[in-house]
Amino acid sequence: MEIKNQPTQCPNGHYYNAALHNTCPICAQAGGVPPTEPFANPGGVGGFLKTEAPVPGGMGGVTPFQPTTIGGDLRGEGTTDPVVGWLVCTEGPMRGNDYRLHGGYNYIGREMGDVRIPGDTQISRQNHAMIAYDDTESIFYVGPSAGRNLIKVNGKTVLNPVEIHNYDVISIGTTKLIFVALCGENFDWKRG
């Protein structure tokens, strides 16, 4: 008997629903490589290239670097929004992956949202939690959204949005994420 909706793991370590997808949708979006591949810069400014192992049907192991863009989510198709920080998964099904955060609200979900963590069934499908960056105050916040399970920051349960700082650990389901800020007191895209 085949179990439907059981996560399948691709060779790059991503989890996906094989009943809905023939191949890993994360690899398809990232050109067949994990999102944390290192970048080389052989072409100078504007000539960034990402090197990788050759992918069948790919461009011979080299793909052009893509700027930070968000497509198909709550921000709208193809909008460019500068990165303000990152989440790095240290435990859970997406261990080793990083997620870019942008100004305003960043929603976390298993299948939908700005930060997608497939494979962790204790995370709600969409809007489990949110991380927000307030560029007028240069402060990051994390809090629950519409998720059924609790979230924790540094081991303490969070029932309302709280301020977070570099290297705080956010626990959602079986996933642990380390928060790393780019913007804040020393740098912000408005100030340069």
Q: Say yes or no to pLDDT of 76 above 60.
A: no
The more confident residue out of 2 and 185 is 185
80 pLDDT tier (thresholds 50, 70, 90) = low
What tokens does 146 get?
């519409």
User: Mean pLDDT throughout 3-25?
Assistant: 72
Identity of the amino acid at 71: G
119 pLDDT tier (thresholds 50, 70, 90) = very high
- Distances from the Cα of 107 to the Cα of 89, 132, 141, angstroms: 15, 9, 12
pLDDT, residue 7, reads: 77
Q: Say yes or no to pLDDT of 45 above 80.
A: no
What would the pLDDT profile of 139-163 be if each residue is shown by its tens digit? Answer: 999 999 999 999 999 999 999 999 9
What tokens does 67 get?
């700027």
Q: Say yes or no to pLDDT of 104 above 80.
A: yes
Residue 151 CA to residue 173 CA, distance in Å, equals 7
Residue 144 CA to residue 160 CA, distance in Å, equals 7
Least confident residue range of 46-50, 75-79, 103-107, 155-159: 46-50
User: Mean pLDDT throughout 122-141?
Assistant: 95
pLDDT, residue 191, reads: 79
The most distant pair of C-alpha atoms in the chain lies apart, rounded to whole Å, by 59
Q: Say yes or no to pLDDT of 44 above 90.
A: no
Q: Say yes or no to pLDDT of 187 above 70.
A: yes
pTM over 0.85: no
